[in-house]
Amino acid sequence: MAVSQHDPAQPGPPRFLLKRVAMAAATAFLAINIWTGAPLLALWVGSQVVGKTVLSMKAVFVVVIVLAVLVYAMALALARLNAAYDRLIGRPPPSGRLSWMRSMGAADEPDVHYRVGVSALEQIVMASVYLAVICFVVWFLFLAHYSFGG
């Protein structure tokens, strides 16, 4: 199967645009739900399994397991979406280890992200992380109303 060499800066056929928009929408959905939907669903499943009003270790265990499975599945789906997007736009796959997993001695190795830039899907995930951190900080500083030391 040939890889299409499509320049993302060029409009190209409508099917490329439609696929790119669908992949961006799926990425945005997963990136937002990894912070919101997965924890809420895990809490709901934990509450349905236990069915009590008192917190138990069984409920905590169920919530942690369900959350771990959901986050792993969503992260795997994000990685596959990003790989499919890279193939669609003709971006070369990363060679070797990811840049954030390399040792400091390997800092001089060439990296695909420096040659071709950050993809749109990666920008969507980064924006969702920034938004999640900003929302947490705003909630903690202004809405949580904790009394420190008193």
Domain ranges of the chain: 14-90+117-143
What 3-state class would DSSP assign to 95?
coil
d(CA 33, CA 20): 20
Closest C-alpha among 125, 144, 149, 99 to residue 32: 125
**pLDDT level of residue 17 (50, 70, 90 thresholds):** confident
Decide: residue 16, CB within 10 A, 0-12 exposed, 13-18 middle, 19+ buried. Answer: middle
Query: For residues 34 and 75, is the Cβ–Cβ distance under 8 A?
Result: yes
pLDDT at position 102 is: 58
Question: CA 137, 140, 144: angle at the middle one, nearest 5?
Answer: 155
Q: 């771990």: which residue's tokens? A: 68
Query: For residues 122 and 99, is the Cβ–Cβ distance under 8 A?
Result: no
Structure token pair of residue 68: 């771990």
Model confidence pLDDT, tens digit, residues 39-66: 999 999 988 888 667 778 888 999 999 9
pLDDT at position 55 is: 79
Write down the pTM of the prediction: 0.71
Share of the chain above pLDDT 90, in %: 39
Mean pLDDT of 118-139: 89
